[in-house]
């Protein structure tokens, strides 16, 4: 049981990053369906950073923990934000259709990541394999005092630093949304950009900011998945796209609330990991179990629409581009 929870929580961090990135983006009124691709490019960025850093060292085994985390996270963030910048340029400045732009980015991101990984990171290289397993073991290393606390420690302190970063980010985002001027303005931009514009909020600046930061956060999720969940084995990072889609669904599930994103992600993490845990021999049952997160999202959608509450709705102008001179 504890093992399932532990795996669920570890895996949930990938969801938290993806979901949080999408929430930040959607709060500005932009539906970024490019999140799966952006998470892939986060993998590329993070791995490239780690790989370049470790190759520069004489002995990779002596690589510093802080540098690996820093270089990886930064690389992932920057690469993902670069894709976010493409999305922002197309949808905010050039007013392209958000759905199509996002879908195009998803396709592009996957291919882009593959190219970077094959040609610059050289994943098939044995040096890289060794480097990544070292990096992974460092990134995924539990907090030092976890072992002394029994099951409690196992449940709460046995994860790598990036899991805690995800939770911290979610909480900080929630505070920013609800307690600060920036959050208020960002929400206003997503709800009614004309209203925000009329009171002097720089609508496009907020949109760019939210999209770039949102994409960056989602990118860290991809990097985290490769380094922590699958222990540095890029070959088994295939499900990242699926996680990206689930993260987008999760946004609806969590009602656009970063706090709920933590709980929702753990739940999705558990549901996602359930098939491999139960080890049901039947293919069909396995397939049905894999479906559960998606079904849960549909159910939530229905519940929201039946309740018709004004509070738990998507940002009012989600998916609509803002033209100031439009009537």
Q: Using CB under 8 A, list all residues that contact another protein.
A: 179-181, 184-185, 187-188, 191-192, 194-202, 310-311, 313, 316, 324-325, 327
In the complex, what is the shortest distance from the CB of residue 226 to another protein, in angstroms, rounded to a whole number? 38
How far from each other are the two terminal CA atoms of the chain, in whole angstroms? 58
Of 138 and 187, which CB lies nearer to another protein in the complex structure? 187
- CB contact at 8 A, 190 and 315: yes
Of 233 and 304, which CB lies nearer to another protein in the complex structure? 304
Burial environment of residue 217 by CB neighbours within 10 A (0 to 12, 13 to 18, 19 or more)? buried
Of 175 and 278, which CB lies nearer to another protein in the complex structure? 175
In the complex, what is the shortest distance from the CB of residue 89 to another protein, in angstroms, rounded to a whole number? 21
Closest CA to 33 of 202, 288, 271, 211: 211
Of 149 and 320, which CB lies nearer to another protein in the complex structure? 320
In the complex, what is the shortest distance from the CB of residue 180 to another protein, in angstroms, rounded to a whole number? 6
In the complex, what is the shortest distance from the CB of residue 191 to another protein, in angstroms, rounded to a whole number? 5
- The whole-angstrom separation of Cα 279 and Cα 71 is 37
In the complex, what is the shortest distance from the CB of residue 321 to another protein, in angstroms, rounded to a whole number? 14
Of 64 and 180, which CB lies nearer to another protein in the complex structure? 180
Cα 32 to Cα 29, 90, 247, 320, distances in angstroms:
9, 12, 11, 12
- The whole-angstrom separation of Cα 90 and Cα 105 is 11
How is residue 127 written in tokens? 């040096």
């Amino acid at each position: 049981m504890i093992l399932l929870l532990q795996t669920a929580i570890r895996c949930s961090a990938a969801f938290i990053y993806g979901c949080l990135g999408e929430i930040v983006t959607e709060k500005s009124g932009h539906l970024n369906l490019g999140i799966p691709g952006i998470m892939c490019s986060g993998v590329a960025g993070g791995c490239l950073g780690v790989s370049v850093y470790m190759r520069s060292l004489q002995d990779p085994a002596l690589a510093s923990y802080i540098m690996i985390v820093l270089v990886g996270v930064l690389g992932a963030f920057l690469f993902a934000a670069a894709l976010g910048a493409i999305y922002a340029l197309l949808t905010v400045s050039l007013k392209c259709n958000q759905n199509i732009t996002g879908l195009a980015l998803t396709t592009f991101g996957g291919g882009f990541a593959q190219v970077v990984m094959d040609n610059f990171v050289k994943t098939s290289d044995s040096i890289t394999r060794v480097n990544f397993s070292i990096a992974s073991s460092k990134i995924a290393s539990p907090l030092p005092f976890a072992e002394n606390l029994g099951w409690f420690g196992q449940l709460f302190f046995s994860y790598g630093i990036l899991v805690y970063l995800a939770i911290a980010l979610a909480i900080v985002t929630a505070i920013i949304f609800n307690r600060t001027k920036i959050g208020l303005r960002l929400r206003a931009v997503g709800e009614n950009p004309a209203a925000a514009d009329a009171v002097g909020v720089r609508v496009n600046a907020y949109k760019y900011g939210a999209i770039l930061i949102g994409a960056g956060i989602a990118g860290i999720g991809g990097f985290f998945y490769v380094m922590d969940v699958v222990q540095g084995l890029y070959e088994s990072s295939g499900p990242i796209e699926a996680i990206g889609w689930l993260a987008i669904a999760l946004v609806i599930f969590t009602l656009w609330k970063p706090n709920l994103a933590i709980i929702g992600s753990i739940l999705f993490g558990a549901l996602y990991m359930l098939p491999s845990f139960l080890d049901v021999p039947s293919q069909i049952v396995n397939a049905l179990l894999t479906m559960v997160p998606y079904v849960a999202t549909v159910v939530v959608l229905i519940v929201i629409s039946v309740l018709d509450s004004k509070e738990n709705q998507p940002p009012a102008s989600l998916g609509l581009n803002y033209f100031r001179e439009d009537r």
